[in-house]
A = this chain, B = another copy of it.
Amino acid sequence: MGDMALTAKGRATRQRIIEGAAAYLRGDDPAGVTLDDIRAITGTSKGQIFHYFPDGKEELFLAVARHEARRVLEDQRPHLGALTSWPAWQRWRDSVVARYRAQGRSCPMGALLSQVGSTPGAAEVVSTLVAQWQFEIAEGIHDMQAAGLVRPAVDAERVAAAFIAGIQGGVQVLRTTGSIEHLEAALDTLIDHLRG
C-alpha cells in the first residue's frame, strides 16, 4: 500500500475517498455502510476505490479509522496538552462532553470497529489511540501531582486508564440509549477522585 505510485491527482482522490467515507460514517448508521454508498458520496467509481485500496473494504475502513483516530486526538490536543489546573480539567471535561453531545449517537470509532471487527489491523489502530490518549491524561495527572494539587499516592497510569474506560463506556451508553449522563458521571466522578 505504501509503495504505490501516486500522482498529485491520485493523492487528492484517495484523500477525497477517505474523508468522504469518514464524514458519511460519522453521520449515518454505520452498521450497513456499503462500498457503493461511499462510491456515491465521494463521486468516485468502483475502479478507483479498488485502485487506491487494493485489499478492498477492510483496507479502506482501516484507513478511515486511522484518519478518525488522529482527528479524535487533535480535536482535544489543546486541552489535553495543558491539564495543569482544575479549571483546565473542567474545560477538557466540557469539551469532551460537548463533542459527543454534538456527535449524537454516532461514534466514528465505534462505527469502524463494529465493521472491521476483530482483524489485527483494527486492534492496532485502537491500541495506538487508546495508548496515546491515556498517556496524555497520565501526563496531566503527573503535572498536577508535581504542582502539589493531586495526592502523590494516586497511580496516574491507573486513573488514566479508568478515564479511558469511563469515556468509552459513556459514549457507548450514549450511542445505544441516547443519554449522555453516564459520560458526564464518569468524567465528574473521576475528576472528583483526583481532587481527593
Contacts and interface: CB of A to CB of B under 8 A. Distances in A.
Interface of A: 29, 31-32, 105, 113-115, 117-118, 122-123, 126-127, 130, 158-159, 161-162, 164-173, 175-178, 181-183, 185-186, 188-190, 192-193
Contacts of A117: 29, 31-32
Nearest to A176: B126
Contacts of A172: 168-169, 172
Would you call the interface of chain A mostly helix, strand, loop, or mixed?
helix
Contacts of A105: 118
30 contacts: A29-B118, A31-B118, A105-B118, A113-B176, A123-B176, A126-B173, A126-B177, A130-B177, A158-B189, A159-B185, A161-B181, A161-B186, A162-B166, A162-B190, A164-B173, A165-B165, A165-B168, A165-B182, A165-B185, A165-B186, A166-B166, A166-B186, A167-B169, A168-B169, A169-B169, A169-B172, A169-B186, A189-B190, A189-B193, A190-B193
Contact of A114 (B114, B168, B169): B114
Nearest 3 Cβ contacts at the A-B interface:
A169-B169, A168-B169, A161-B185
A169 B177 contact: no
